[in-house]
Amino acid sequence: MQVQEDEHVDSGRRTWLIAASVAGGVGGVAAVVPFVGSFAPSEKAKAAGAPVEVDIGNLKPGEMMTVAWRGKPVWIFNRTDQMLAGIQKADSELADPLSTHPFSMPEPEYCRNEFRSRAEHKNILVAVAVCTHLGCTPTPRFQSGPQPNLPENWPGGFLCPCHGSTYDLSGRVFKNKPAPQNLDIPPYMFTSATQLVIGKDERGEA
């Protein structure tokens, strides 16, 4: 009788252990699947390096918009005629007025001018909004003249809030600043008068 009871207990115990093992295994699989899935690139990650199409039809003179490309902020700035005139006056105060020393990407040939823009749309600046010193995002300071943290003859441009580097309205860095180079200009092209693509030009995708 005792033997039968022991066998019954052992049988029940084995059944419980098997069930617990199966449940644990299922739980383990459930925990592992999301973890393994995290290694696979998401659709958002796949699109992070793809060209970005932007409609600038509502971007008025003097206004700027920011879009994301490759995980970085990119400015699209519609400069006024007065702003363009001020750019030409700043050359003597800049560290690299002709942008001969690019930062993290080669400057497109069509932007190798003081406006750093395409000739047919010279008012439109497309620049990566990442300071070339330590990677902060500069802030717009479009108004000219004396202002806090800026020189008295400030022509208008951008100020990096982290360490005080300043850039003109073409994204060119001023002399004697922590930032060593001008802001990057990504490859881009216009597909219509109001539509542009960042990360792609006549030569293909970046």
Reported as a single tens digit per residue, the pLDDT across 28-47 is 333 333 333 333 334 554 45
How many angstroms separate the most distant Cα atoms in the chain? Answer: 107
pLDDT for position 132 = 97
151: tokens are 């020189």
CA distance 73 to 70: 8
Backbone CA torsion sign across 62, 66, 67, 73? positive
The pTM (predicted TM-score) of the whole model is 0.76
Phi, psi of 43 (to 5 degrees): -65, -35
Asked if residues 163 and 20 have their Cβ atoms less than 8 Å apart, the reply is no
Q: In sequence order, what are the residues at sequence separation of 6 or more whose Cβ sits closer than 8 angstroms to the Cβ of residue 104?
A: 184
Rounded CA separation 27/21 (Å)? 10
Does 68 have pLDDT greater than 90?
Answer: yes
Q: Is the per-residue pLDDT at 90 higher than 90? A: no
- Residues 108-159 have pLDDT tens digits of 999 999 999 999 999 999 999 999 999 999 999 999 899 888 988 899 999 9
Domain ranges of the chain: 1-40, 46-205
Size of the chain, expressed as the number of residues it contains: 206
Mean pLDDT score across all residues of the chain: 82
Query: DSSP of 29-47, one letter per residue?
Result: HHHHHHHHHTTSPPHHHHH
- In 3-state terms, the chain is what percent helix, strand and coil (to 5)? 30, 20, 50
For the chain, where are the E strands, in sequence order?
A: 52-55, 64-69, 72-78, 124-128, 139-141, 157-159, 166-168, 188-190, 195-198, 200-201, 204-205
What is the dotted CATH code of the domain comprising 46-205?
Answer: 2.102.10.10
| Token reading at 87 | 């750019």
